[in-house]
A and B are shown apart, each in its own frame.
Chain A
């Protein structure tokens, strides 16, 4: 069915035509000019920096390169990044599917407001996102005074005894990451589910399927590639997020440092080899994400034709 191509396929590049119809064929020098410009641009702004990351990381050979990964602070940063992604990605997966389901399959009041709110994290600067959390959960923030150990009449005894820290602690980092990566899955699924309509779900219902059976057997298989695509993008962002996390983290080495923050610290200490070594790990993550994305697109296209 050609009508239901997932929207992310529409960005697929057209093959370069060397011999088009005469009327749309440009003079040779124009073609070369534009191709050179495009390649130069890609080279300067994408390939060169990527190459620089790996060259700088390996400048002093493999010894110092691998040494950077045995540093306990680095390992702790890696663990924290993985933990953050492991919480943020599933949370946004569930939220994204639920939100896309509501928006695409039902009509309700405030629907356009919800769509706008989902886009909010894309619209505001990550630093602001971080500051919002400081403002709400920080010691001087709105909820800050109630979070630490204290004597609040409407809290239970157990809750009063807890010294809950969100800002400058792991929960803050997770919250900020969830906020920043909030739109990826939902944004990917909404147009896809809207294009597919409700007929297949209705068909399943008339055939006697329950709501859950319909969801798992009809809805999920129909959106699986879009979902996977949204998840890998979400994961890449969750691991690479710097701004929002930087504000709420407090940069406590070995405790609240994620990989991007750790890179900054190393760099500021003139430890270039270690900084670029850790950077190369994140760059590799980006390359793997792109590879997966290409695979998904290829697979989704094959499934449709």
Chain B
């Protein structure tokens, strides 16, 4: 089921959490709402779920063409998984999952069917034996999966997850997010999850919605947003970046120092792995820089260099094989060439 958000605004007193936000989530896709804390991503998710309401008269939420803006959460057919799971502490895992079926007034399934559904869901989240346990007897990852099973028990048409891996340690988090991707492919439910971790969003989402300061900055596939960031914010949020003065670039093209008038103002964004290091030669194009540090732990070597002209630092990432070929020492003078750079007025490539 598709989710359509039109011109939603939400304010808490003087603070604006969402400023005229519009978004379309395609049916059956796994969409990530990505942004720093305070960007409004969780508020947007809660408004889609019906746990918060948008400001009076601001916009509309539609599920598959049906207006649900005023509909209470319980009627929207959404499954919501909370960051801290919000499992019912006083109920067993079985009762937690059965809750959504038991509270039904109309067409409440008979006890045998409830038991059957719960066992199927427990098997689906690969925790078939844990029905009799209580939430405090489970690990963080297990609680997360029980929360997911509980949300799925009411057969939602949209699944919403708020920072689903936020409270887990790094290793479990990686396992669980791959599991979530597979799980999504199996059940094919329209899913939206909130995260502040760009790696997580880029790894598992079909589509990434990048938010900042109550607004959406860009919507696109992980590759699109990484390769063609629409705004300086997106560029900086998705991975490391060097911000160079545009005049440095102009000079790098021309070479002879001081030979051209510097007209270009503003800044240029370059990813550390888009910079090539070549041995220094005075008449060759490139930015002259001095090598300051080499961090060679891990598959990639990270180099810190200082530009000769501006004394600004540049980070460069290169494979360790290339680095060995260059035979560099700290203090060496080199030329930097930019394979790809971005200026948000037009693209430069050298």
Interface of A toward B, CB cutoff 8 Å: 1, 4, 199-200, 202-210, 213, 217-218, 221-222, 303-305
Residues of B in contact (CB 8 Å), total 29
* Contacting pair A207 B74 (CB below 8 A): yes
Cβ of B311 within 8 Å of any chain A Cβ, yes or no, is no
**A208 contacts which of B49, B51, B74, B84 (Cβ < 8 Å)?**
B74
* Contacting pair B136 A206 (CB below 8 A): no
Q: List 16 A-B contacts (CB under 8 A).
A: A1-B89, A199-B82, A203-B82, A203-B86, A203-B150, A205-B73, A205-B74, A206-B49, A206-B78, A206-B151, A207-B151, A208-B74, A208-B100, A208-B154, A210-B74, A221-B88
Write out, one digit per residue, whether chain B residues 61-92 have a CB within 8 A of any chain A CB (1) or not (0).
Answer: 00000000000111110111010101111100
> What is the chain B residue whose CB lies nearest that of A203?
B86
A304 to B153, CA, bound (A): 26
* Contacting pair B89 A4 (CB below 8 A): yes
Instruction: Decide: A222 near B89, CB < 8 A? Known: A206-B51, A206-B78, A207-B150.
Output: yes
The 9 residue pairs across chains A and B that have the minimum distance between CB atoms: A207-B100, A199-B86, A209-B103, A203-B86, A208-B74, A206-B80, A221-B90, A206-B73, A205-B73
Residue with the greatest number of chain A CB neighbours at <10 A, chosen from B103, B151, B154 = B103
Residues facing A in B4-63 (CB within 8 A) are 49-51
* Contacting pair B88 A200 (CB below 8 A): yes
* Contacting pair B90 A207 (CB below 8 A): no
Residues facing A in B150-202 (CB within 8 A) are 150-151, 153-154
Q: Is the interface of A mostly helix, strand, loop or mixed?
A: helix
> What is the chain A residue whose CB lies nearest that of B162?
A199
* Contacting pair B86 A202 (CB below 8 A): yes
A303 to B89, CA, bound (A): 10
* Contacting pair A222 B90 (CB below 8 A): yes
A204 to B150, CA, bound (A): 10
Q: Which residues of A contact B89 (CB under 8 A)?
A: 1, 4, 200, 222
A1 to B150, CA, bound (A): 19
Q: Which residues of B contact A204 (CB under 8 A)?
A: 88, 99, 103
* Contacting pair B99 A207 (CB below 8 A): yes
* Min C-beta distance of B52 to chain A, whole Å: 10
A207 to B150, CA, bound (A): 8
Cβ of B135 within 8 Å of any chain A Cβ, yes or no, is yes
A303 to B150, CA, bound (A): 22
* Min C-beta distance of B70 to chain A, whole Å: 15
Cβ of B104 within 8 Å of any chain A Cβ, yes or no, is yes
Q: Which residues of A contact B90 (CB under 8 A)?
A: 221-222, 303
* Contacting pair A200 B135 (CB below 8 A): no
* Contacting pair A208 B86 (CB below 8 A): no
Instruction: Decide: A304 near B80, CB < 8 A? Known: A1-B89, A204-B103, A205-B73.
Output: no
> What is the chain A residue whose CB lies nearest that of B156?
A206
* Contacting pair A1 B100 (CB below 8 A): no
Q: Which residues of B contact A199 (CB under 8 A)?
A: 82, 84, 86
* Contacting pair B103 A202 (CB below 8 A): no
Instruction: Decide: A218 near B88, CB < 8 A? Known: A1-B136, A204-B103, A208-B154.
Output: yes
> What is the chain A residue whose CB lies nearest that of B102?
A217
Q: Which residues of B contact A213 (CB under 8 A)?
A: 103
A199 to B104, CA, bound (A): 20
Residue with the greatest number of chain A CB neighbours at <10 A, chosen from B78, B99, B154 = B99
> What is the chain A residue whose CB lies nearest that of B76?
A206
Q: Which residues of A contact B86 (CB under 8 A)?
A: 199-200, 202-203
* Min C-beta distance of B179 to chain A, whole Å: 22
* Min C-beta distance of A223 to chain B, whole Å: 10
Q: Which residues of A contact B79 (CB under 8 A)?
A: 206
* Min C-beta distance of B253 to chain A, whole Å: 56
Q: Which residues of B contact A209 (CB under 8 A)?
A: 74, 99-100, 103
Q: Which residues of A contact B74 (CB under 8 A)?
A: 205-210
> What is the chain A residue whose CB lies nearest that of B100?
A207
* Contacting pair B103 A207 (CB below 8 A): yes
A209 to B100, CA, bound (A): 7
* Min C-beta distance of A206 to chain B, whole Å: 4
* Min C-beta distance of B227 to chain A, whole Å: 37
* Contacting pair B151 A217 (CB below 8 A): no
Instruction: Decide: A217 near B103, CB < 8 A? Known: A200-B86, A206-B49.
Output: yes
Write out, one digit per residue, whether chain B residues 84-119 have a CB within 8 A of any chain A CB (1) or not (0).
Answer: 101111100000000110011100000000000000
A207 to B136, CA, bound (A): 21
* Min C-beta distance of B12 to chain A, whole Å: 10
Q: Which residues of A contact B73 (CB under 8 A)?
A: 202, 205-206
